[in-house]
Amino acid sequence: MPAGLEKACHRCISKIASNACFIFGLLAFLVLPLSMTFTGMKFLEDCPVQPLIPLYLLVGGVIGSLKVTLLLYDSTRMRQLLSKSVVIDDDDDDEYPWRQNAHKSGYESASKHFDPADLEVDVAGRSFLITGSNSGIGKAAAKEIARRGGTVHLVCRNKERAEDAKGEIVTETGNQNIFLHIVDISNPKEIWKFAEKFKTEHKLNVLINNAGCMVNNRELTENGLEKNFATNTLGTYVLTTALLPLLEKEADARVITVSSGGMLVQKLNISDLQSGSGTFDGTMVYAQNKRQQVVLTEQWAKTHRSIHFSVMHPGWADTPAVRSSMPDFYQKMKNSLRTEAQGADTVVWLAVSSEAAKLPSGLFFQDRQPVPTHLPLARTHSPPGDEEKLMEMLEELSQKFKSISPGSPQCC
């Protein structure tokens, strides 16, 4: 999880806790005079203060309501300003023990309860497609699946690095059924073209949406799309949508999307999908994209019952992307980061374990366990209508790139 998102979670939970304490205190403050009204204490019957009790309650209720409203407004503003705090203090672990779950130590603790038999499987004959698989979590997942006999399709943007990754996987696993596909996941036109060709040449049992992007300054792709959104959200949507018919032909088909716990600080926002208004904050845009991936998974699970969908948080892993894009975060946290294999463990478990398929479709996972998609009292729930609208907006946008010929106008 990026440093800004980590601090965001801390402040969000701290604010929630303080707000909750005030609200409970306010309720107690109001209950006392109410109890006085209904105790039937006879000595108050002729007391001059009795007529003031209803007024006392009214004023207290109005003031309390205003205070709660201000607190809720402040909480909303707080979430908008979270990204300004990017410093992580290791000493805070004692105050917020939950955050250790994403550390290497959190994985080591959780793994004590893993059943080794879950991954003692032979997946020969099953086909797996993994995006962003030339390094990091994607490559680690590809290795583990290849070791178990699976046919692995590596979908990568950089041909040279993809070829190096393929050679490494083949050498380490002895599995020759490793195939390369050079596709830029931020380019929906390329994705559509690739998917149509792939469907005529291969079968597919498991799709792993791992490719991701976080740029801190607003960039537009050659298609005129904001780069984070194009890669994390639209790219995931187009590839999955295009390959659903192929997946539906196979038994025990699965789709796994690598999201992030950073999405916990974001409520789905469909009013500005490409972050074109206001101040651009790459960390919060990334978190919003990861919230969108959770919504996509939940919506697909409702409409495609023959496929098992899941989305997961890998924890904080030591990957090339972290080292290059967040050097300060890496230097501060490098001794606490998970290995690439530890970050990929739940991806592999969701992709090959029979136990994973027994759980309901559409869940969010960390360390092989389903976990909530919202923090208590965080007000990140969105109306169902917004979630359905997101799917409609992505479908409409994706179709604009489905059959674009050279020279066609760019979108958006």
Residues noted as catalytic: 286
Collect all residues with Cβ–Cβ distance below 8 Å to 69 and sequence separation of at least 6.
Answer: none
Collect all residues with Cβ–Cβ distance below 8 Å to 133 and sequence separation of at least 6.
Answer: 139, 141, 142, 152, 154, 155, 156, 162, 165, 210
Q: How many angstroms separate the Cα of 126 from the Cα of each of 187, 211, 251?
A: 27, 21, 10
Q: What are phi and psi of 131, to 5 degrees?
A: -85, 155
Residue bearing tokens 């366990």: 369
3-state SS, residue 402: coil
77 vs 91: CA distance, rounded Å: 26
116 vs 122: CA distance, rounded Å: 14
232 vs 234: CA distance, rounded Å: 6
CA angle (121 as vertex; 115, 124 as ends), nearest 5: 160
Which long-range contacts link 78-83 to residues 24+ away (Cβ below 8 Å)? 78/11, 78/12, 78/15, 79/8, 79/12, 79/265, 79/266, 79/267, 82/4, 82/7, 82/8, 82/11, 82/12, 82/265, 82/284, 83/4, 83/8, 83/281, 83/283, 83/284
Q: Are 295 and 270 in contact (CB under 8 A)?
A: no
Q: How many angstroms separate the Cα of 199 from the Cα of each of 97, 202, 239, 247, 328?
A: 46, 6, 12, 10, 43
Number of other CB atoms surrounding residue 388 within 10 Å: 14
